[in-house]
């Protein structure tokens, strides 16, 4: 969905809390009397770092410049009270590990140590000891890493110079990762209906989600939706039908009664999300013989797609882990559309993937199509479904795996969506080239422990998602091309 769309006001993404980044800068106080010009120069560097970190979607908590262990202890208390998503320690020059360890132990957030010297290299013939000390922030990095390892603290660092684009790109990955951590640890995930019978890989323990990520899982009934749909007025239905006609191209197969029902469910679904304060929803209900619960389950696709476009991802087939992956992807600005393998095209060297059901409209390659279906394959009911392919170019498959011990992993694979023939069956289908034989990719992807659903994201996001996995304390697994 182009951002210039006239629907921007209605489909505008939900406002999220800003990512809370803590910053503390420091150096060894013994230097200040010896080299009077050093501290002012380091403070200038620290101010530049603060400016670069303070992006529009970041709330920066700057605990200042510390020169000794007592000062570090005081900074740690400030940062702990701020409840940061990520703590950045800027080693402006050499500082002792005794100044960094209490911050890492007490601040209550994962730590990134950065050391950015003023320029790419020193002017060796003219530099004094005081000049050199502004360039030796790298010196304590092995010391800090050793102490973190012995203290059982995860170590992360970015070394570079102050205006080095590649260094700031790496720092940016950690800031993006902090946004994912912040979103998941405060999110409310809806889980409505029941497991699709036989899909054992989809089964997810809500307690484990809360224990591992900090999220809350709200257990909902389809009756919660039923009551809200029953309260929808004819005027609301008419307005939602008009919205659908603007957002989508309507195929001739769309039945007016089915579209009206989908619109009514959409309005009720909006109310459900609002009433329960949901950030995502995974749902499924089989139903029987055309009764109301079957019709509700079959009528979800329109409303779920509109909500997903607003940054409130919806996943069918009770796929709680995939709804989390979609929320993480949306936090990165990568969309994240509900996806599974559909077929392999060995002639074109692509994996065809997508899904029926809710889709992320903002990452469609063009205006999405709404198609009427007399039957949903493998599901009860009938109605309207969304059809498109994801914007052509770089993409990342991103799923959340669960292992025997209950631990989770972020699983990624980067590829490229290419043009080619697509099925016209009311599915979101994309042709993804992973730079390898499609069969080999399926083997490697399946061996990671990913389930059979995942989020298809725009852009190459493995570095950001690897960083997010690190901040969340889980493993990252990635699948690349092989011959």
- CATH number of the domain enclosing 174: 3.40.50.10940
Mean pLDDT of 12-37: 94
Question: Is 95 within a domain?
Answer: yes
Question: Is 12 within a domain?
Answer: no
User: What digits encode the pLDDT tens for the residues 176-196?
Assistant: 999 999 999 999 999 999 999
Which CA distances in Å does 93 have to 22, 28, 117, 161? 19, 7, 8, 12
1-5, 161-165, 418-422: lowest mean pLDDT where? 1-5
How far apart are alpha carbons 481 and 163 in whole angstroms? 33
β-pairing verdict for 428-433 and 408-418 = antiparallel
Question: Is 205 within a domain?
Answer: yes
- CATH number of the domain enclosing 473: 3.20.14
What is residue 280's predicted lDDT score, i.e. its pLDDT? Answer: 97
How far apart are alpha carbons 308 and 279 in whole angstroms? 10
Question: Is 224 within a domain?
Answer: yes
- List the beta bridge partners of residue 402: 408
User: What digits encode the pLDDT tens for the residues 212-267?
Assistant: 999 999 999 999 999 999 999 999 999 999 999 999 999 999 999 999 999 999 99
Give the end of a domain, one of 162, 184, 206. Answer: 184
What is residue 6's predicted lDDT score, i.e. its pLDDT? Answer: 43
28 and 74 belong to one structural domain: yes
Q: How confident is the model at residue 382 (pLDDT cuts 50, 70, 90)?
A: confident
88 and 217 belong to one structural domain: no
Residue among 375, 334, 389 nearest 173 (CA): 334
Question: Is 391 within a domain?
Answer: yes
User: What is the share, in percent, of the chain residues with pLDDT greater than 90?
Assistant: 89
380-397-201 Cα angle (round to 5): 50
Q: At residue 345, what are phi and psi to the nearest 5 degrees?
A: -115, 100
User: What digits encode the pLDDT tens for the residues 435-460?
Assistant: 999 999 999 999 999 999 999 999 99
Around Cβ 51, how many Cβ atoms within 10 Å?
Answer: 10
Question: Is 472 within a domain?
Answer: yes
Q: Which domain holds residue 155?
A: 19-184
260 and 389 belong to one structural domain: yes
Q: Could you write out the three-class secondary structure of the chain?
A: CCCCCCCHHHHCCCCCCCEEEEEEEECCCHHHHHCCCHHHHHHHHHHHHHHHHCCCCEEEEEEEEECCHHHHHHHHHHHHHHCCCEEEEEECCCCCHHHHHHHHHHCCCCEEEEEEECCCCCCCCCCCHHHHHCCCCCCCHHHHHHHHHHHCCCCCEEEEECCCHHHHHHHHHHHHHHHHHHHHHHCEEEEEECCCCCCHHHCCCHHHHHHHHCCEEEEECHHHHHHHHHCCCHHHHHHHHHHHHHHCEECCCCCHHHHHHHHHHHHHHHHHHHHHCCCEEEEECCCCCCCHHHHHHHCCHHHHHHHHHCCCCEECCCCHHHHHHHHHHHHCCCEEEEEEEEEEECCCCEEEEEECCCCCHHHECCCCEEEEECCCCCCCCCEEEEEECECCEEEEEEEEEECCCCCEEEEEEEEEEECCCCCCCCCEEEEEECCCCHHHHHHHHHCCCCCCCEEEEECCCHHHHHHHHHHHCCEEEEECCCC
Question: Is 11 within a domain?
Answer: no
232 and 346 belong to one structural domain: yes
What is residue 483's predicted lDDT score, i.e. its pLDDT? Answer: 54
343 and 215 belong to one structural domain: yes
| 10 has a pLDDT exceeding 70 | no
345 and 447 belong to one structural domain: yes
Residue among 301, 310, 302, 339 nearest 431 (CA): 339
Mean pLDDT of 289-298: 91
| 271 has a pLDDT exceeding 80 | yes
| 64 has a pLDDT exceeding 60 | yes
412 and 348 belong to one structural domain: yes
How far apart are alpha carbons 378 and 268 in whole angstroms? 25
How far apart are alpha carbons 45 and 61 in whole angstroms? 17
324 and 438 belong to one structural domain: yes
Q: How confident is the model at residue 3 (pLDDT cuts 50, 70, 90)?
A: very low
Give the end of a domain, one of 184, 201, 232. Answer: 184
260 and 148 belong to one structural domain: no
How far apart are alpha carbons 361 and 350 in whole angstroms? 23
Q: How confident is the model at residue 15 (pLDDT cuts 50, 70, 90)?
A: confident
Give the end of a domain, one of 158, 184, 210. Answer: 184
Question: What's the total number of domains in the chain?
Answer: 2
Question: Is 14 within a domain?
Answer: no
Q: What is the mean pLDDT of the chain?
A: 94
365 and 455 belong to one structural domain: yes
User: Which token pair is 362?
Assistant: 């903002």
214 and 158 belong to one structural domain: no
42 and 177 belong to one structural domain: yes
What is residue 2's predicted lDDT score, i.e. its pLDDT? Answer: 43
What is residue 356's predicted lDDT score, i.e. its pLDDT? Answer: 85
């Amino acid at each position: 969905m182009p951002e210039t769309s006239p629907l921007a006001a209605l489909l505008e993404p939900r406002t999220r809390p800003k990512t809370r980044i803590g910053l503390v800068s420091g150096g060894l106080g013994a230097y200040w009397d010896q080299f009077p010009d050093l501290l002012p120069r380091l403070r200038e560097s620290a101010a530049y770092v603060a400016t670069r970190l303070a992006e529009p979607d970041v709330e920066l908590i700057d605990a200042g410049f510390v020169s000794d262990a007592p000062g570090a202890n005081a900074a740690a208390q400030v940062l702990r009270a701020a409840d940061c998503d990520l703590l950045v320690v800027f080693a402006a020059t050499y500082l002792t590990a005794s100044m960094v360890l209490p911050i890492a132990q007490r601040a209550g957030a994962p730590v990134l140590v950065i050391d950015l010297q003023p320029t790419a290299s020193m002017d060796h013939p003219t530099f004094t000891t005081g000049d050199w000390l502004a360039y030796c922030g790298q010196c304590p990095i092995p010391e800090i890493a050793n102490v973190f390892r012995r203290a059982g603290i995860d170590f992360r660092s970015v070394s570079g110079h102050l205006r080095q684009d590649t260094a700031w790109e790496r720092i940016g990955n950690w800031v993006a990762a902090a946004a994912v951590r912040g979103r998941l640890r405060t999110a409310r995930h809806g889980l409505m209906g029941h497991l699709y019978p036989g899909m054992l890989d989809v089964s997810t323990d809500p307690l484990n989600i809360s224990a591992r990520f900090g999220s809350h899982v709200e257990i909902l009934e389809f009756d919660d939706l039923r009551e809200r749909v029953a309260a929808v007025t004819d005027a609301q239905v008419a307005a939602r039908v008009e919205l659908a006609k603007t957002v989508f191209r309507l195929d001739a197969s769309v039945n007016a009664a089915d579209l009206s029902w989908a619109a009514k469910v959409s309005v009720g679904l909006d109310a459900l999300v609002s009433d329960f304060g949901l950030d995502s929803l995974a749902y499924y209900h089989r139903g029987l013989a055309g009764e109301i619960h079957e019709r509700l389950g079959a009528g979800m696709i329109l409303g779920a797609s509109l909500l997903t476009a607003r940054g409130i991802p919806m996943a069918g087939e009770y796929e709680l882990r995939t709804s989390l992956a979609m929320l993480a992807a949306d936090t990165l600005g990568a969309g994240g559309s509900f996806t599974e393998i559909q077929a392999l095209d060995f002639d074109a060297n692509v994996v065809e993937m997508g899904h029926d059901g809710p889709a992320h409209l903002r990452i469609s390659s063009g205006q999405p199509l709404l198609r009427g279906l007399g039957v949903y394959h493998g599901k009860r009911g009938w109605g309207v479904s969304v059809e498109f392919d994801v914007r052509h170019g770089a993409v990342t498959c991103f799923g959340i795996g669960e292992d025997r011990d209950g631990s989770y992993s972020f699983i990624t694979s980067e590829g490229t969506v290419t043009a080619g023939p697509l099925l016209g069956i009311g599915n979101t289908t994309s042709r993804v080239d992973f730079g390898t034989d499609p069969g080999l990719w399926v083997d490697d992807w399946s061996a990671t422990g990913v389930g059979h659903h995942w989020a298809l994201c725009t852009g190459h996001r493995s570095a950001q998602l690897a960083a997010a996995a690190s901040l969340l304390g889980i493993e990252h697994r990635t699948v690349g091309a092989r011959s």
